[in-house]
């Protein structure tokens, strides 16, 4: 994989030009794209910027994120050849930081569940996950050092785990969603994929102009609460192994590890996430569903058909639970810096018929917490499995620092 941190250091030390850094990515795309299929379209003549902290950094942009100079097709024929007038805010912010958009990456239709044709670069017989399939795969295949995804259920953390890359779903609205196709306004969150956790911090800091996101927020070993989200169906053995491996490594590295019990409101929030998502999706996709139902991808269409009658009262009750669950996070994080849990129920499923299950991600999306995937083990069949680091809303720097501690601990304390 291409290390953003390494490229940046070499560019800043004049060991590498921004043009050469960009060329390296373009050549890597030429080499791997035909096999992996991570891109929907590529920029015509991408050029490196001459300044900005991310100059020379090639970025892939999930194709539900609008771009003024590339079509934005949302993974659906309904948006075939759609040319937005403007760049989404996050795209302009990336460009202002010096990054170069090299193409649009594949996405499930409207960032929902229908699989794309993208292969998992670690094992071509398996899905890269979704809905941010192309972004996770392009980083994992070593084509680009940075990619944008979005998460409404588990569309950033899950594919990152499946593909063995680092990823962050930041706090709700740390990154703007302006110019991104909405599925659920309460849930949709922009996220980043990169080779390692340091890369994520550098990119997030450069995009937002918040220097603290690239710095160590913890002056000591983190206090970690390990949770297994018993409110969800059990994880597979691979995910259990990844979590145990991470816990053993951080213990050896000096972190304190507790096993807190999550407040009951978190379980309730887990249960009502689907109500909020479906209710809002019916409104966000109202034009598509009522005018173009036949052209909506089959899984999403079936999902919308099945959820058409959610009453207002169920939605209102769900929002009320979400509000109270947010307050209960104070108890969940008592005396802890971060929570540590599964990133996904297991390794990437075989075949391209499913993008996997977001059940270990969705409550954290609803609660707006920063979540970071750290790759941990390579399970049978060359399939990576990661763990998920979660901090309080607004404490993205803490999540990144603890994730980096875990990444370091794994490097030092596992064979």
Give the interface with its own copies as residue ranges (CB under 8 A).
68, 78-79, 82, 85-89, 91-93, 95-96, 173, 176-179, 182, 185-186, 208-210, 280, 283-284, 286-288, 290-291, 312, 316, 394
| Closest separation in Å from C-beta 61 to its own copies | 13
Cis before residue 131, ω within 30 degrees of 0? yes
Tell me whether residue 169 is one of the annotated catalytic residues.
Answer: no
Q: Of 284 and 363, which CB lies nearer to its own copies in the complex structure?
A: 284
| Closest separation in Å from C-beta 188 to its own copies | 10
| Closest separation in Å from C-beta 312 to its own copies | 5
Q: Of 9 and 82, which CB lies nearer to its own copies in the complex structure?
A: 82
Neighbour count for residue 277 (Cβ, 10 Å): 27
Q: How far apart are CA 359 and CA 27, in angstroms?
A: 37
Q: Of 182 and 250, which CB lies nearer to its own copies in the complex structure?
A: 182
Q: Of 110 and 342, which CB lies nearer to its own copies in the complex structure?
A: 110
Residues in the chain: 415
Contact 225, 336 (CB under 8 A): yes
Q: Of 176 and 274, which CB lies nearer to its own copies in the complex structure?
A: 176
The closest alpha carbon to 158, from 396, 358, 349, belongs to 358
The closest alpha carbon to 262, from 201, 333, 172, 180, belongs to 333
Judged by DSSP in three states, 328 sits in: helix
Q: How far apart are CA 183 and CA 269, in angstroms?
A: 19
Q: How far apart are CA 415 and CA 411, in angstroms?
A: 8
Q: Of 24 and 186, which CB lies nearer to its own copies in the complex structure?
A: 186
3-state helix, strand, coil in the chain (%, to 5): 40, 15, 40
| Closest separation in Å from C-beta 282 to its own copies | 9
Q: How far apart are CA 318 and CA 280, in angstroms?
A: 12
Q: How far apart are CA 386 and CA 286, in angstroms?
A: 36
| Closest separation in Å from C-beta 93 to its own copies | 6
Choose the catalytic residue: 25, 43, 62, 205: 62
| Closest separation in Å from C-beta 293 to its own copies | 12
| Closest separation in Å from C-beta 209 to its own copies | 6
The closest alpha carbon to 322, from 368, 283, 282, 357, belongs to 368
Tell me whether residue 155 is one of the annotated catalytic residues.
Answer: yes
Q: How far apart are CA 207 and CA 90, in angstroms?
A: 8
Tell me whether residue 328 is one of the annotated catalytic residues.
Answer: no
Contacts of 321 (CB under 8 A, 6+ apart): 265, 268, 269, 272
Choose the catalytic residue: 155, 161, 239, 343: 155
Q: Of 86 and 125, which CB lies nearer to its own copies in the complex structure?
A: 86
Contact 169, 189 (CB under 8 A): yes
Both tokens assigned to 7: 């490229």
Contact 351, 127 (CB under 8 A): yes
Cα distances (Å, whole numbers) of residue 160 to 121, 151, 303, 324:
12, 12, 24, 30
The residues annotated with a catalytic role in the active site are 62, 131, 155
């Amino acid at each position: 994989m291409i290390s953003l941190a390494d490229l940046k250091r070499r560019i800043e030390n004049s060991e590498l030009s921004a043009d050469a850094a960009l060329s390296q990515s373009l050549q890597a795309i030429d080499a791997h794209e035909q096999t992996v299929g991570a891109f929907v379209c590529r920029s015509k003549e991408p050029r490196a910027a001459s300044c900005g902290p991310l100059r020379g950094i090639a970025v892939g942009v999930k194709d539900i994120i609008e771009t003024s100079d590339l079509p934005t097709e949302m993974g659906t024929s309904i948006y075939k050849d759609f040319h937005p007038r403007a760049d989404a805010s996050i795209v302009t912010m990336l460009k202002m930081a010096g990054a170069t958009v090299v193409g649009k990456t594949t996405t499930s239709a409207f960032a929902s569940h229908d699989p794309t044709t993208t292969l998992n670069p670690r094992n071509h017989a398996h899905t890269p996950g979704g809905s941010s399939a192309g972004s996770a795969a392009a980083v994992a295949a070593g084509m680009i050092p940075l990619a944008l995804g979005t998460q409404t259920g588990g569309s950033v953390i899950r594919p990152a785990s499946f593909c063995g890359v680092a990823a962050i779903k930041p706090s709700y609205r740390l990154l703007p969603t302006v110019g991104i196709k909405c599925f659920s306004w309460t849930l949709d969150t922009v996220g980043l994929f990169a080779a390692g956790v340091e890369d994520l911090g550098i990119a997030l800091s450069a995009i937002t102009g918040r220097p603290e996101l690239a710095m160590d927020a913890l002056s000591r070993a983190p206090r970690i609460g390990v949770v297994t989200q018993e409110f969800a169906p059990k994880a597979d053995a691979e995910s259990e192994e990844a979590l145990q491996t991470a816990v053993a490594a951080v213990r050896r590295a000096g972190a304190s590890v507790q096993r807190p019990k999550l407040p009951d409101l978190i379980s309730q929030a887990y249960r009502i996430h689907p109500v909020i998502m479906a209710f809002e999706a019916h409104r966000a996709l109202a034009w598509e569903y009522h005018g173009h139902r036949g052209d909506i991808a089959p899984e999403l269409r079936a999902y919308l058909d099945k959820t058409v009658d959610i009453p207002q009262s169920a939605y209102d009750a769900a929002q009320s639970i979400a509000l109270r669950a947010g307050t209960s996070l104070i108890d969940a994080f008592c005396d802890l810096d971060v929570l540590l849990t599964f990133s996904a129920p297991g390794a990437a499923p075989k075949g391209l018929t499913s993008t996997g299950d977001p059940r270990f991600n969705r409550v954290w999306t609803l609660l707006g917490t920063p979540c970071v995937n750290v790759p941990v083990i390579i399970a049978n069949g060359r399939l990576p499995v990661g763990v998920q680091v979660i901090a309080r809303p607004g404490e993205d720097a803490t999540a990144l620092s603890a994730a980096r501690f875990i990444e370091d601990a794994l490097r030092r304390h596992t064979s």
